[in-house]
Amino acid sequence: MGRVVAKEKALRYLFSQLLIMYANKKFGLIESGQEVMVYLSPHTPIRQKRLNDIISDSFYRELFMNPCLSGWNEGKTKHSYMHLCHEVLSRSQLNGVAKLRDAGIIINNLVVLPNISNASLANNGTHVSMGSQMLLRMLSDPTSGFTHVHEKYVSDLVVKIVEHFLPLFVCIYSASPYRIDFWDFHPEKVLSFLPHELDYTHLRML
């Protein structure tokens, strides 16, 4: 399965690069001092983060919101949904500061307030979806008691483990470790959305 996924990913990357090369010339982007780039990385580019820091979240959404339309028949509806998600994530960073204070991690008013805009939901990317034969068998069997609700719970658990837990083991499970600048080493910045996902006890342990 790994070879099949890698082969498909390589083909998508190749065709994406060819399309970008064509678009840069066809639409005169290079002539006007612009250039579209595609590269393989799970992290937001540094220059995009810096841009995100100096513009409003609504303007950032206008520039970069390009949602994946997988599983949606109406692109406009998905775009509205992504717009709402980005708004909620942006505001949640400020609410996270209050949770850190309640947890006793921030003990005074000296905090570095994160920018209200957030780059996490407005990036383009290629999604590779993989299913489970075991879950499929259980869903097909009416006597198993397994429903789409259970499937959702299992899927959410897997996503949480893959996106939030495994990346902690840098160089073991991650081929692209997340490097944090010294100036970002404040709990209200480095913990990101974890205050919303963890209990106060676990936050203090971290």
Segment 89-129, tens digit of pLDDT? 778 877 888 888 888 888 777 666 667 777 776 555 555 55
Domain that holds residue 120: 41-129+176-205
What's the CA gap between 171 and 156, in Å, rounded?
25
DSSP state of 28: T
73, 175, 196 from 63: Cα distances, Å: 23, 29, 27
The amino acid that residue 79 corresponds to is H
Tell me: do 81 and 92 sit in the same domain: yes
pLDDT by residue (tens digit) across 39-61? 777 677 788 888 888 888 888 88
Same domain, 3 and 58: no
Residue type, 25: K
Report the amino acid identity of residue 184. D
Residue 18 confidence (pLDDT)? 94
Instruction: Name the pLDDT band for 25 (thresholds 50, 70, 90).
Output: very high
Asked whether the whole model's pTM tops 0.95, one would answer no
Whether residue 62 is found in the same domain as residue 102: yes
Same domain, 199 and 117: yes
Helix (H, G, I), strand (E, B) or coil at 105: coil
Residue 45 lies in a domain: yes
Place of tokens 């008013």: 109
C-alpha to C-alpha distance for 67 and 23, rounded to whole angstroms: 20
Gap between the Cα atoms of 66 and 83, Å rounded: 10
Judgement on whether residues 69 and 96 belong to the same structural domain of the protein = yes
For the beta carbon of residue 123, count every other beta carbon within 10 angstroms: 15
